[in-house]
Chain A
Amino acid sequence: MTLPVDLFAQALNGLSYGILLFLLSVGLTLIFGMLDVVNLAHGSLYMLGAYAGLTVIAITGDFWLALLLAPIAVGLVGLVIERICLRPLYRRGALDQVLLTFGLVYLFEDLVKWIWGGRIRSIAPPAMFSGSVTIWGATVPSYRLFVIAFGIAVAALLWLLIERTRLGAIIRAGVFDAEMASGMGIDTERVFSAVFGFGAALAGLSGVIAGPIQSAQPPMGATILIPALIVVVVGGLGSLKGSFVGSLVIGQAETFGKAWLPGVSMLMIYVVMVAILLLRPQGLFGRPLR
């Protein structure tokens, strides 16, 4: 392959990975913005989504049904977590909640091993996107193109939801200042539940989407969490736009690192993070820290 074609292929790869990171990190950043909780179990919910998707596909053979049902199931799990584990801790402060979600990481990883077994399972892409296409001389799996289009559509819908609807206005108010929002008569408890459940569903959705690219295995949750957290930090905590731009940046950094600097590729995303934080400590679109 010639250099420009190679560049293009890598960039597309990075874009699809970045979109995947966006689907995952947008829930993380919303939950953080709203509840002040760094949900360390967010990667576990992603893993749960992938396995729930596997089961739906095993039963129905329909990828699209999995894409619909698995996020709903994971969203319900999220609601239960919020209700049972997080709500009693709101008065005790954010740190206890972070610690609790760390316990959930272990719990879920083992639960998945118990239910589905520890071996690597792969999800077949839907028949319609199982081939590959050639664009400008580069061969690209068509599923990756679908991921890119799907992710952009989700981003647009989220933007509409948050910027243009009444519910979105409530969420923005809560992210900006939850206490004040509650003082204005908004039932923040219910909004907290809804946001956590919604974020969990998005994590589940990204798990299904990731299935055909990365295959499902129990450590996937703990592994994907770190890049997702980095996206949130780079983009600016609580910022939707930040998590979109941050995801694309980190996606490219990771992909080009793997292709061009294989010896230190794992370090790339941290280098990018440190560079961005040195220039903008609050992240690309974050509000200045105090």
Chain B
Amino acid sequence: MTEAGSTGGRARVVAGAAGAAALFAAIAAFPLVAGNYPVKLLQEILVWGVFAMSLDLLMGRAGMVSFGHSAFFGVGGYVAALSLAKAPGLASALALPALAAAVAAVVIGFFSIRASGVYFIMLTLAFSQMFYAVTFQAAWLGAEDGLVGVPRPVVPGVDLGRSLAFHLYLVGLVGLAALVLVRVARSPFGHVLRGIFENEARMEALGYPVARYKLIAFAVAGTVAGIAGALYTQLTGSITPDAFLWTTSGEALLMVIIGGIGTLGGAVLGAATFILLQSLVSSYTERWMLILGLTFVLFVLFAPGGIAGALRGRIGLRA
């Protein structure tokens, strides 16, 4: 990642900001030039991109590889579905889901962060599966069919049921989430997380309350994942227990790895690769999962830096 204030100086920062703004505008204007299907793919990429970015904050900054990130995606999705059915305002669409995901993340994080490495993986995985088990059997949550027919939120004066308005709402929120995650990653807080990743014992010895930092990182990542889940519900109009399934966490992990761990932007790139590849491959062959699995294995074996890492090596960008 190009850090602000390093060798390139102001010019590079300005160029980066201009590039980001141009990309943002292009994404926002996409429905004006493209048909329904490409727009839907783009929206899916954006939502999954936010989810993958939040996981990358956890993995790439703090070194906490979670296999249970789907718990927060699902909590956000279910809370959005339940509350939008009651009152279709922004509080239902965003605030409540984010709050619920944050609470879930603090609770799960409290029990999980004491473990590290594979133990952390197993604990987070088990917690997310607990949500799956509950939602799969809870009649009031639609059991295995989940909640369907979720209305889109109504912002005063704007009906988000209309597709262009919804697109702009989605793009705006995704941009905001990305901005927040990048700011967090580059903040002093983000650098402490980096330090914990590099050498936890040393950070502890330096007097940093490592456990608290990890818990906050887990909560922030979980909250953003919850928002991604809420947006997913609004995009598709439904949410099912599969959102909690451990393979959902695994797919987000895949996106992070394919894109390039620790780069945030790479996570979106990974989400785009994943979703575009899926739609492309499944239109030619049924063997989508085979190709996905193979791609992933090859990435882990030969390109652990992901697409972002490969690009960086190719065009000589410095980490």
Contact = CB atoms under 8 A, between A and B. Distances in A.
Interface of A: 32, 36, 38, 85, 88-89, 92, 94-96, 98-100, 102-111, 113-114, 222, 226, 229-230, 232-233, 237, 263-267, 270, 273, 289
A226 B246 contact: yes
Interface residues of B, number: 36
B287 interface: yes
Interface in B274-319: 286-290, 292-297, 300-301, 304
Nearest to A111: B290
A107 B297 contact: yes
Contacts of A99: 65, 253, 257, 296, 300
B28 interface: no
17 contacts: A98-B65, A98-B118, A99-B65, A99-B253, A100-B300, A102-B254, A103-B254, A105-B247, A107-B290, A110-B290, A113-B286, A226-B125, A229-B126, A266-B137, A267-B130, A270-B126, A270-B129
Contacts of B253: 99, 102
A248 to B, nearest CB: 19
A38 B290 contact: no
Contact of B136 (A89, A237, A266, A270): A266
B289 A94 contact: no
B133 A267 contact: yes
Contacts of B121: 38, 95, 98
A85 B301 contact: yes
Nearest to B288: A110
A4 B202 CA distance: 59
Q: Which of A92, A102, A108 has the most CB of B within 10 A?
A: A102
Sorted from nearest, which 7 A-B pairs have the closest CB atoms? A107-B293, A106-B293, A103-B296, A266-B133, A110-B290, A110-B289, A103-B297
A289 B133 CA distance: 28
A38 B300 contact: no
Contacts of B295: 103
Nearest to B257: A99
Nearest to A99: B300
Contact of B137 (A36, A110, A230, A264): A264
Contacts of A229: 122, 125-126
A265 B290 CA distance: 33
Contacts of A102: 250, 253-254, 296
A88 B290 CA distance: 22
Given A38-B118, A267-B133, A110 B257 contact: no
B119 interface: yes
A222 B257 CA distance: 21
Given A89-B301, A99-B300, A103-B300, A94 B294 contact: no
Nearest to B249: A102
A88 B302 CA distance: 10
A100 B297 contact: yes
B117 interface: yes
Given A98-B118, A100-B297, A107 B133 contact: no
